[in-house]
Chain A
Amino acid sequence: KQEVTQIPAALSVPEGENLVLNCSFTDSAIYNLQWFRQDPGKGLTSLLLIQSSQREQTSGRLNASLDKSSGRSTLYIAASQPGDSATYLCAVPIQGGSEKLVFGKGTKLTVNP
């Protein structure tokens, strides 16, 4: 059964700091992994989608890496800003390339001005 764990559960940093969010999953036979952002009381915004053949994906100040063999992914945020404050969720298919996603509980990030 696919399970996704995100560490830490919460993180508070001063503005400008670089930070790393961690995601681990139990079944490594996945076709892709996604990182989402969720603002309080809102839905999800897709940040990055990494295919299993890729090791990294970048979008602006965000960089996500994927190590399938170890069942891990990291989301690196460079030069954090107060507007980055949100909960970041990691999601993988329940198995293979299934359209059904399993989500972690998220990391709540607070960037202080």
Chain B
Amino acid sequence: GAVVSQHPSWVICKSGTSVKIECRSLDFQATTMFWYRQFPKQSLMLMATSNEGSKATYEQGVEKDKFLINHASLTLSTLTVTSAHPEDSSFYICSARGQGFQPQHFGDGTRLSIL
């Protein structure tokens, strides 16, 4: 149980393109979803927290207009990297948590490469 699916797993696109990443909880209702970014040989850094039906809360230093997060339902959150540039190339991982004191369950990540 507690499966989180992330799509796509890998995307390569040209600079200036907007890229959407989906995160779905397959067998539970995710009241809260988290988006992380991981650079090579670095730790996961929390970018934002989203609760279903409300605006995401972004961590300090993360541009909310650059990284648009939509948590439209209890099973789906999306991260859109707008006008992506090479410095946005990274590994993006989502996690989802059910109601109450539930642990986070992680997706398999999306490797984003901007040329």
Q: Which residues of A contact B (CB under 8 A)?
A: 4, 34, 36, 41-46, 49, 89, 91, 97, 99-106
Whether a CB of chain A sits under 8 angstroms from the CB of B77 is no
Q: Which residues on the B side are within 8 Å of A44 (C-beta)?
A: 44, 93, 95, 106
Q: Mark B35-53, 1 if CB is under 8 A from A, else 0.
A: 0000001111110010000
Interface residues of B (CB under 8 A from A): 4, 6, 32, 34, 41-46, 49, 91, 93, 95, 97, 101, 103-109, 111
Do A104 and B109 have beta carbons less than 8 Å apart? no
Chain B residues near A45 (CB-CB < 8 A): 106
Contact A100 B43 (CB under 8 A): no
Residues of A within 8 A of B45 (CB): 103
Closest Cβ neighbor of A87 among chain B residues: B41
19 example contacts (A-B, Cβ-Cβ < 8 A) are as follows A41-B109, A43-B4, A43-B93, A43-B106, A43-B108, A44-B44, A44-B93, A44-B95, A46-B104, A91-B44, A99-B34, A99-B49, A99-B97, A100-B46, A100-B49, A101-B46, A104-B43, A105-B42, A106-B43
Bound: A104/B32 CA distance, A: 22
Distance in Å from the Cβ of B12 to the closest Cβ of chain A?
14
Q: In the bound complex, what is the Cα–Cα distance between A36 and B105 (angstroms)?
A: 11
Contacts of A100 in B (CB 8 A): 34, 46, 49
Cβ-closest chain B residue relative to A94: B46
A45 to B105, CA, bound (A): 8
A34 to B106, CA, bound (A): 13
CB within 8 Å for A42 and B104 given contacts A4-B43, A103-B43, A103-B44 = no
- Report chain B residues within 8 Å CB of A97: 101
A43 near B107 (CB under 8 angstroms)? Answer: yes
Cα-based distance from A45 to B44 in the complex (angstroms): 14
B108 touches A99 (CB 8 A): no
Residues of the A chain whose Cβ atoms lie less than 8 Å from the Cβ of B34: 99-100
Residue from B43, B46, B106, B111 having most chain A Cβ neighbours under 10 A: B43
Partner of A43, one of B6, B32, B101: B6
| Minimum C-beta distance from A32 to chain B (A) | 9
